Structure formats: structure tokens, C-alpha cells
Structure 1
Amino acid sequence: MSLFSSESWSGTATTSVLGILVVLALVFVLVSYLEWSSNTNLTEFISRTEVASVASSPVMPLNGPTACEHGKKAPLLSVPLE
């Protein structure tokens, strides 16, 4: 059997093409999975951020009265400015 016979090249070409197709299929599956999981994680992140932003909104308006007692006390030292 010769090293360069047509049977050995035919088998080598078939094996090479089959190997390339398997690698391409694996790459396609990997890229599809990464895209799917990225979209899923992004959707989950956005939904959690919306919930967090709603939960962090102030209960009292910013311009209204505060619960701080300091604002209700008279100043200790009041010196008129002239």
C-alpha cells in the first residue's frame, strides 16, 4: 500500500471534513448557549434593578417635613446680624 494512494487520501479527507463539521457544530452550540444565558442574565438583572429602584424610593417627599427633631428646636445662640 502506497502512502499516496487514493484510498488513504479519500479516508483522510472524509475524516478531516467530518472533524471540521463536528468542531463547527460545537462552536455553534457554545455560542448559542452563551447568547441565551447572557440574555437570561440580562433580563434577570434588569428585573432585579427595577425592583430595587422601586424599593429604594423615598417614602416621604424630599421637600416635606423630616422626622429629625433637630429642625424643630430653636437655635441655642441667636445673634442678630446687622
Structure 2
Amino acid sequence: MPLFNSQIDWRGMGTIVVVGLFTLLVLAFAVISYVDWSSNAAVAEFMNATESSASDPNHSNESAARIPSAKARANCPLGKKSPPTQLLPLP
């Protein structure tokens, strides 16, 4: 059998190309369908969370978890220092 065959099986190559393109088309369709489905699920979850928090009678504009002030941070050694009021230019 020679190293380079001068006869090319065009029908076989065409079949391989068609099968490859079909596989890529199916994968692209699957990815697009999944992204669409997950986006719809995320939007529905967001809307349910928004509606439930808006209809909550105990809901207020203040956050439930308050951010501690700088003086309340006793565990941090830098927490006792006041933050700089001016930024110094870099040398």
C-alpha cells in the first residue's frame, strides 16, 4: 500500500463532514436550549423572591444585617485607627 493514495474517497469524506456538522448543530441547539431554560428559571426565581419580599408586612427599607461601625471592630488591630482623610500622591 503506497504512502499517498491518489484515489480519494469523496463519498466517505462527505459523510464524515455531514456527520460532523450535524453533531455541531445538535450541540449548539442543546447549549442554546439549556441557557434559555436556565435564564427563564433564574428570572422566575428572582420574580418570586421580589414578590414575596415586597408583600412581606415586616419588610422595611433597612437591611436586616447591619454593618458594624469602625469603632465596633475590636478584633482588628487596624480597626481602632481612624481611616485616612486624604490620599497622598504616589512618589
Structure 1 runs of 4+ with >6 Å offset: none
Higher relative contact order (Cα pairs below 8 Å, separated by 6+ residues): 2
Residues 6-63 of structure 1: CA distance to partner in whole angstroms, max 9, x if unpaired? xx111111000000000000000000011111101100000000111122269xxxxx
Q: How many residues matched?
A: 55
Query: TM-score, with normalisation over the residues of structure 2?
Result: 0.55
Query: How high is the sequence identity, in percent, across the aligned residues?
Result: 36
Compare CA radii of gyration and give the structure with the larger one: 1
Match of 2:42 in 1: 41
Q: Greater helix share, 1 or 2? A: 1
Unaligned runs of 5+ in 1: 59-82
Query: TM-score, with normalisation over the residues of structure 1?
Result: 0.60
